[in-house]
Structure 1
Amino acid sequence: MREKMERRSFILLLIAVSIAFGLILKPFGGAIFWACAVTVIFAPLQRWLLRKIGDRPNTAAGLTLLILMAIVVIPVILLTSAFVSEGVQFYQRVEAGEIDPREIMQRLRDAFPWLDQVLVELGIDTQNLRERVSQWLMGATQFLARETLSIGQNTFSFLISLTLMMYLTFFLLRDGNQLIKLIIRALPLGDERERALFQKFAEVTRATVKGNLVVAIVQGALGGIIFAILDIPGPLLWGVVMAFLSLIPAVGAAIIWFPVCLYLYATGAWVSATVLLAYGAGVIGLADNVLRPILVGRDTKLPDYIVLFSTIGGISLFGINGFVIGPLVAALFMATWQIFMRDFSGEEQPAKPE
């Protein structure tokens, strides 16, 4: 009886200190998450370096971090700096009245008067709608500019998070295998199940980060190039925004280029508008429709509609980190139910790890 009470008390203590430790780490959740994700992605490189230089884990982890800095961190910092600079210029043009969202809305209304009739038939108050859209456009441009300024003002906080992420990544690269073995020993789920879940975590994280980032870079670059060619203000700014929005499957970058296309039609720039429409649907959209299923859906082994809903849901709950966390939770959900059906429902599970 006493032993049973001691075990229960210890389990309660274990839960309490685990929750307390989680709360302590909560402010650094983003840095910890990305350290884990980067470790999963660059672990094959670290293992390759270990084979080349021998059993020197500190050196291999350090070289891996240097390569990470060279191909990811430094380019992102340079791009962010350019993005902030162009965002400040855009904000100044809005404040100076050179760019007027209400004027843009009025030109769209004048160019497409049939929209009013369609909206009336749908029971939508067009006058209030125009006011709301104008207010939204003004608010969106000001919000974008404020966030751009905020990035510049919060450089110190960003550098602290980046430093913590890189610091933790070094130790995860060096000691990751031992940590996984320790977790497998500690969790009471069954070693085989835990290894399957860890493998799924690695597969999905690698696929979503690499796949979505490749799609984002491609679509952002394509969008920025066509905006520059057509002499649309702020091509770098809008290219980066399209890259972020392309993390949302199906719609993504079209949230930016399609309204710009309508505005070009409204202002009489028919050639530029037609070029942008054809380019957006045929080139930018093709990059999403071709690359995402290949790089994300195939490697995560998730249906396209699951990837779509889990990505949007993840972003709505967790912000920018959600484009990885959403599909990851969906994949672990499906993997857990597959294990349950195999081990507890008597169903055969023919799928084998490749």
Structure 2
Amino acid sequence: MRDKLERRSFILLLIAVSIAFGFILEPFWGAIFWACAVTVIFSPLQRWMLTKIGDRPNIAALLTLFILLAIVVIPVILLTSAFVSEGVQFYQRVEAGEIDPRAIVQRLRDAFPWFDQLLVELGVDTSNLRERISQALVSASQFLARETLTIGQNTFSFLISLALMLYLTFFLLRDGNALIKLIIQALPLGDEREKALFNKFAEVTRATVKGNLVVAIVQGALGGIIFWILAIPGPLLWGVIMAFLSLIPAVGAAIIWFPVSLYLFATGDWISATVLIAYGAIVIGLADNLLRPILVGRDTKLPDYVVLFSTIGGIALFGINGFVIGPLVAALFMATWQIFMKDFSGEP
């Protein structure tokens, strides 16, 4: 009886201490998550280096970290700096009246008179539509400016998180296999189930980051290039926004380039509008269909509707980190139920 009481008391203490430790680490969850994700992605490179330089895990992890800095971290910092600068300039142009959202809306309504009739048939009140759309555009520009200014003001916090992520990544690269074995030994879920879940975590993380992020970068870059060629203001700004929207399935970069092409039609610039629509549909649109199967692979891809809801839900709950966390939680959810059906229900 006493042994049972002691065991239960210890389990309660273990849970309480684990929860308290989780709260202590809460400010650093973003850095910890990305350290784990980066480790999963770059661990094959680290293992390859071990085969070339021998059993020197410290040197292999350090070299991998330097490569990560050169090809990922430094370019992202430079791009973020340029994005912040261009976002602030765009907001200042709206405030100064150089870009007038109301004039843009009026030109669209003048060019496409059938649009008002369509809204009436759909039961939408068009009496103050122009003002509402204009206010929405102004609010969006103000939100964008606030976010970019926040990024600039929180540079120190960002650098601290980045340093912590890189610091933890070094140790995860060096000691990752030992840590996984220790976790498998500690968790009371069954070694085979834990290995299956760890494999699913690595599989989905690689697929989501390597696939979705690369596709988003490509689509954003293609969109920014065509905006620059067509002399559309803020090509870098809109390119980054298109890259971000490309992370959301069934939405993509078209939510930016298609309205812009309509505006070009409305202003009489038929050549630029036609080029933008053709380029968006053929080049930007096909980039996803061509690259994603190659980078992600058919075996790791979740159903499209699961990816859509998990990505949007993840972003709503966790911010930008949610585009990875959402599909990851969905994949672990499905993997856990598959294990349950196999081990406890007798279902294949």
TM category (shorter chain) comes to over 0.9
Taking the TM superposition and a 5 Å limit, the aligned residue runs for 1:322-341 are: 322-341=322-341
Q: Which residue number corresponds to residue 203 of structure 2?
A: 203
Q: Which residue does the alignment assign to 1:290?
A: 290
Shift of 1:294: 3.9
**Deviation readout 1:93-126 (Å, 9 max, x if unpaired):** 1121100111111111111111111111111111
TM-score (norm 2): 0.97
Matched, 1:40 2:28: no
**Partners of 1:333 and 1:121 in 2: CA distance:** 43
Asked whether the 8 Å contact 1:32–1:165 carries over to 2, the reply is yes
Identity %: 87
For 1:313, give the aligned amino acid. G
- The aligned residue for residue 173 of structure 2 is 173
State the secondary structure of the residue aligned to 2:298. Answer: helix
Q: Quick check: 121-130 or 218-227, which moved more?
A: 121-130
SS in 2 for 1:298: coil
Secondary structure of residue in 1 paired with 2:346: coil
**Equivalent position of 1:352 in the other structure:** none
CA distance in 2, matches of 1:223, 1:299: 29
Q: In 2, distance between residues paired with 1:131 and 1:14?
A: 58
Match of 2:258 in 1: 258
1:100 maps to 100
Report whether the alignment pairs 1:120 with 2:120. yes
Give the Cα separation in 2 of the matches to 1:168 and 1:307.
29
Give the match for residue 56 of structure 1: 56
Contact 1:249 1:288 in 2 (8 A): no
Deviation (angstroms), 1:190? 0.3
Contact 1:207–1:299 (CA under 8 A) maintained in structure 2: no
Q: Residues of 2 paired with 1:11 and 1:72: CA distance?
A: 42
Q: CA RMSD in A?
A: 1.3
Distance in 2, matches of 1:295 and 1:157, equals 33
C-alpha contact (below 8 Å) 2:249/2:304 kept by paired residues: no
Contact 1:300 1:331 in 2 (8 A): no
Give distance in 2, aligned partners of 1:239 and 1:329: 29
Trace 1:203-222 onto structure 2 (pairs within 5 A).
Answer: 203-222=203-222
Name the residue aligned to 1:149: 149
Deviation for aligned residue 1:299: 4.7
- Between Structure 1 and Structure 2, how many residues are aligned? 348
Deviations 1:159-208 (A, max 9, x none): 01100100110111111111101110111000000001000000000010
Alignment of 1:312-351 (within 5 A): 312-348=312-348
Is 1:232 matched up with 2:232? yes
Q: CA deviation at 1:293?
A: 4.0
- 2:68 alignment partner in structure 1: 68
What residue number does 1:311 align with? 311
Separation of aligned partners in 2, 1:330 and 1:137: 34
Take 1:241 and 1:113, find their aligned partners in 2: how far apart are those partners?
A: 29
Q: Structure 2: which amino acid aligns with 1:6?
A: E
Q: Secondary structure at the match of 2:188?
A: coil
* Amino acid across the alignment from 2:328: L
Q: Report the secondary structure of 1:126's partner residue.
A: coil
Aligned AA (1:38): V
CA deviation after TM superposition for structure 1 residue 73, in Å: 0.5
- Which whole-Å CA distance do the structure 2 matches of 1:299 and 1:291 have between them? 15
Query: Could you tell me how far 1:296 is from its partner in structure 2?
Result: 3.2
Q: CA–CA distance in 1 between the matches of 2:85 and 2:313?
A: 31
Match of 1:351 in 2: none
> Which sits farther off after the overlay, 298-307 or 153-162?
298-307
* Alpha-carbon distance in 1 for matches of 2:174, 2:68: 15
Residue in 2 that maps onto 1:160? 160
Can you list the C-alpha shifts for 1:7-40, whole angstroms capped at 9, x where unaligned?
1111111111111111111111110000000000
CA distance in 1, matches of 2:290, 2:50: 35
Aligned residue runs from structure 1 range 119-138, under 5 A: 119-138=119-138
Equivalent pair of 1:211/1:295 in contact (CA under 8 Å): yes
Please state how far the C-alpha of 1:301 moved relative to its aligned partner.
3.8
Long gaps (5+) in structure 2: none
Distance 1:279 1:184 in 2: 50
5 Å matches for 1:236-251?
Answer: 236-251=236-251
